[in-house]
Chains A and B, each alone.
Chain A
Amino acid sequence: DAGVTQSPTHLIKTRGQHVTLRCSPISGHKSVSWYQQVLGQGPQFIFQYYEKEERGRGNFPDRFSARQFPNYSSELNVNALLLGDSALYLCASSGGGQGSLETQYFGPGTRLLVL
């Protein structure tokens, strides 16, 4: 079975630009979460979506937004990029049914470099 997939794997942008990151969850999973991992730190929660609705949001500015599609894939958008947005962006999927949302399985991540 395919795991969580993310695209692109690497991305280089300049300050002020916009970026879209994509994630496909494990087949049958209905929830997608996004995390930011700055070099040398643990991942930090950005968003969680379940059944196409936002169910949680971390402490990130409004420049960060996300959505989930009918096929449960998801996009993370970041506007007006700053140097500090350089990080590994991780997508995690969970939830084949109620009560099974607690275990999150992570994709390989998208490494974003902002110059």
Chain B
Amino acid sequence: AQSVTQLGSHVSVSEGALVLLRCNYSSSVPPYLFWYVQYPNQGLQLLLKYTTGATLVKGINGFEAEFKKSETSFHLTKPSAHMSDAAEYFCAVSDWGLGTRDTGRRALTFGSGTRLQVQP
């Protein structure tokens, strides 16, 4: 079974400071990894994803994440926090398909989330 661990349920940074949100995963197969952001009373918005290829992936709103296989990590960073970054962030790993006709990935397993606060 796959799992995701997000260290720190709450992270507080000052505006303009570095944002670092930690994510570690376990997977029995090569993982596909995702970061989603959720603003209050809204659904999930995809920030970025890693599937194959370059291990440093860039996403929207200036966020990026690096896949480190040896550390089973996929930490999310942003060089300079903005007030609008305050939200809940979820790391997720996707599972393999169960069918034989289609080898696409299936269910997402999410971490418990990290709430980012940005102080003025």
**Cβ-based interface call for B94 (8 A):** yes
Q: How far is the CB of B57 from chain A (nearest CB, A)?
A: 12
* Number of chain B residues close to chain A: CB under 8 A: 31
Set of chain A residues within 8 Å of B36, measured between Cβ atoms: 106
Q: How far is the CA of A44 from the CA of B51 in the complex (A)?
A: 21
Closest A residue to B36 by beta carbon equals: A106
Residue interface bits A9-52, CB-to-B below 8 A is 1, else 0: 00000000000000000000001010100000111110010100
Residue interface bits B12-48, CB-to-A below 8 A is 1, else 0: 0000000000000000000010101000011111100
* Number of chain A residues close to chain B: CB under 8 A: 30
A42 pairs with B107, CB closer than 8 A = no
Q: How far is the CA of A4 from the CA of B42 in the complex (A)?
A: 12
**Cβ-based interface call for B108 (8 A):** yes
Could you say which of B43, B51, B90 has the most chain A C-beta atoms within 10 Å of its C-beta?
Answer: B43
Closest B residue to A91 by beta carbon equals: B43
User: B113's contact among A35, A42, A99, by CB below 8 Å, is which?
Assistant: A42
B105 pairs with A42, CB closer than 8 A = no
A58 pairs with B107, CB closer than 8 A = yes
27 A–B contact pairs at CB < 8 A? A4-B43, A41-B113, A42-B90, A42-B92, A42-B111, A42-B112, A42-B113, A43-B90, A43-B110, A44-B110, A45-B107, A50-B102, A56-B106, A56-B107, A90-B43, A92-B108, A98-B102, A98-B104, A99-B103, A99-B104, A100-B104, A101-B102, A102-B32, A106-B36, A106-B44, A107-B43, A109-B42
